Structure 1
């Protein structure tokens, strides 16, 4: 087959198959929806079955955490029993040839030492971070503190069981343990890879757990009777629901990084630029960057969309629908990952769902949402200085997300040939990506200097 025929066949076939089944996320979404309905109608259920305890909606922080746990269990069950991901070669597991327990003990002991030391150092970092002991992060510290002892204890049988079937049990945790024990050869690059993965888990897991309760309570306690009559309330209620979907399923992704689920972190982004771009968007770094008084704060003397369109119900309904759509795309981008969502990581290649249209649906929809909800070019002060400042700084924030996207692409392009194939297909055929690529390509051509022919 010549190159043109190969390209034509590829165009007809579409992008490469996704490493994640779309139904994993759908199963989690259905489980989450079921629990939210249960939490909202708990007073009626408790009354009907004469159950002990309060007759109130289950909108508290631990109910929010339980929703995430149940959502994760359903997605994990789907992955194992339906998709059978534990048989994927990418797990690095050979179930058919387990090693003797005595042989596994040798590597497991070193690996457990590395894991325990890693968790202890992450816990020490939590102790040093003052912001972890204030506001919403207190709930995360309560959960992580309660889970610490069971996690340490259960790691022993888990590592022993897994090391018997791993093709190469000497992973990053083993190399870090070997470094600490000082009795075997260890590879510094594997240690770095180990710490990149666990730094990502430690930083983002605490943040994600901390933001579970507020949005969940808003959704469970929302008065949906107003949805059909008040466009602003309807918009905000549905926006809260979309954000709850994103946070609940996204949190599962950070916690279930397990090889039997084929959801392990294969590599953390090794690029410093990628870490800087990502961390600027999260606490505590975001406070000095985009928060009140931050370097790029873009909300001086602004009012949101409901203020500017007040008195125009048709416009309010249309604008609310547009914002809900953008947020739904954002949530869909997380749901599509199933149990593999996390920042700064490579955990397989995702090519279905919204990733069939653009390589970065979450960043694109999120930034469009911010522009349309905040409307930084509209100010209550009637000051052109505020208009210019807010608009420029909002553009800078969007630029940070473009920077994040490029660093993530650089990481994935270096890791996986399938991603390189997906990247090329999207560049040529993606509904959103391809037109932008052609536009940027023409702009690049116009910027090239024209060479005069020699006389």
Structure 2
């Protein structure tokens, strides 16, 4: 038998190790399921209960990460617990770092105060959360930074460089300040959006009528899809909050590429292009699957099941990150769960959901409307392809991601399927 050394190496090549275990995400998922079950039973559907859902997601993940995965001991945290410097030895560095950190928060607060849309609609809830959390964060930051700097191998991070620049000190690195600014721009922009959408989806799920679920495929699909989004938003919100070195969930880098920021920002308000009336709004002249398959239960059930499955993949893609999810950042390479099948399972499942749920080739108007809707939805999918490529460009700066991408190209089911379809 002919022996192909390259093939043998590929078959024996193990998948790169994930930066976070599946256990952390599953612990958080169990917390969410437990909380919403209690909330539905006693009717806790308000915004405070929605925040408790975030807590129910975060606490189990933190406990699992520290007690089981022991992430605080990883070299990638940049912490050496054996250092135990005296706080007097690091006080000067810590104070400069706090100056930079508080200056950063002041800039973010100024942006929030200036943007009118942040105080309207759902965003008003996010601002309510921030105004009440700010004094607590200010107080907690003092002992946290003073304590952690005793153990951090290199305490002069981006916050220190910003503080040193503000204080007129020497040794300032502009690249470190730029990276610090990008990191906090990601947190400031996306956390406000995530908190804004936490209460509506949570309340919709908790209040949803369950009497018709077993007999109505549309009602069951809507209920399950809503739950998947509750899970996704909870994990995403917690991910933006828990950017902490002791959890090894800190931001290694934010995308330095303008194309990456552009591709991401046009998918979120206030820059979103897919909103109602926006240039990439594909809905005019269309309806959805419940209209086209109305009265045909033999079609409604399987289509609904596919939509639920696609949303489940989307939500599990976020769950796989555990406490590390965020856009435009590198916080460790994820290789398990849906990321063992595709490098971009969330984008793939989301776009397939839109195509299946909308069926843009069918129209309530003319064939011109159908053609327009189809082309615009294709453009939306193109935006997510662009996002995927810019993310690969950023993450590809890390050899660990390049090893993962190489393994996926050879071994993962979805890339192999695409290769087969292309005849490669």
Which band: TM-score by shorter chain? over 0.9
1:41-92 per-residue CA deviation (whole Å, 9 max, x = no partner) reads: 12xxxxxxxxxxxxxx110011101110221111011100110000000000
List 4+ stretches of structure 1 deviating above 3 A: 4-7, 437-442
User: Which residue of structure 2 aligns with residue 356 of structure 1?
Assistant: 340
TM-score of the superposed pair, with normalisation by structure 2: 0.97
Equivalent-residue separation in structure 1 for 2:213 and 2:371 (angstroms): 35
Instruction: Determine which of 305, 329, 340 is the counterpart of 1:321.
Output: 305
Distance 1:240 1:153, change over 3 A: same
Aligned counterpart, 2:355? 371
**Shift in Å, 1:38:** 1.1
Q: What does 1:55-454 correspond to in 2, within 5 Å?
A: 57-286=43-272, 289-381=273-365, 383-414=366-397, 416-437=398-419, 439=421, 442=424
Q: 1:13 offset after TM fit, Å?
A: 3.8
1:107, 1:170 within 8 Å by CA — same for their partners in 2? yes
Indicate if the aligned counterparts of 1:333 and 1:355 stay in contact, CA closer than 8 A.
yes
8 Å contact kept, 1:427–1:437: no
Counterpart for residue 445 of structure 1: none
Deviation at 1:200, TM superposition (A): 0.1
Instruction: Tell me if the contact between 2:26 and 2:319 (Cα under 8 Å) persists in the aligned partners.
Output: yes
- Tell me the residue number matched to 1:49: none
Contact 2:341 2:412 in 1 (8 A): yes
Deviations 1:152-180 (A, max 9, x none): 11100000000000000000111111111
**Given the superposition, is the C-alpha separation of residues 175 and 6 from structure 1 closer, same or farther in structure 2, using an over 3 Å criterion?**
farther
Equivalence for 1:450: none
Cα distance in 2 for residues equivalent to 1:438 and 1:275: 32
Greater shift in the superposed pair: 313-322 or 428-437: 428-437
Deviation of the 1:306 alpha carbon: 0.3
Distance (whole Å) between structure 2 residues aligned to residue 374 and residue 269 of structure 1:
32
Alpha-carbon distance in 2 for matches of 1:160, 1:5? 54
Could you tell me how far apart the structure 2 residues matched to 1:8 and 1:91 are?
Answer: 35
Alignment root-mean-square deviation, CA: 1.4
* Aligned-pair CA distance for 1:8: 2.8
Alignment-derived partner of residue 16 in structure 2: 16
In the other structure, the counterpart of 1:453 is none
Query: Cα gap change, 1:10/1:81 in structure 2, threshold over 3 Å: closer, same or farther?
Result: farther
3-state SS of 1:225 partner: coil
What is the CA-CA distance between 1:441 and the residue it aligns to?
Answer: 7.9
Gap runs ≥5 in structure 2: none
The number of equivalent residue pairs is 422
Structure-1 residue corresponding to 2:34: 34
Contact kept, 8 Å, 1:85 with 1:262, in 2: the verdict is yes
- The 2-side partners of 1:315 and 1:437 are apart by 31
Give the Cα separation in 2 of the matches to 1:8 and 1:36: 48
Distance in 1, matches of 2:124 and 2:339, equals 35
Is 297-306 or 324-333 further displaced after alignment? Answer: 297-306
Q: CA deviation at 1:296?
A: 1.4
**1:197–1:7 Cα change, 3 Å:** farther
Structure 1 residues without counterparts, runs of 5 or longer? 43-56, 443-455
Alpha-carbon distance in structure 2 between the residues aligned to 1:69 and 1:398: 34
TM-score, normalization: structure 1? 0.91
Whether the 8 Å CA contact 1:11–1:425 is kept in 2: the answer is no
Tell me which structure has the larger Cα radius of gyration. 1
Greater shift in the superposed pair: 65-74 or 349-358: 65-74
Contact 1:193-1:267 within 8 A present in 2 as well: yes
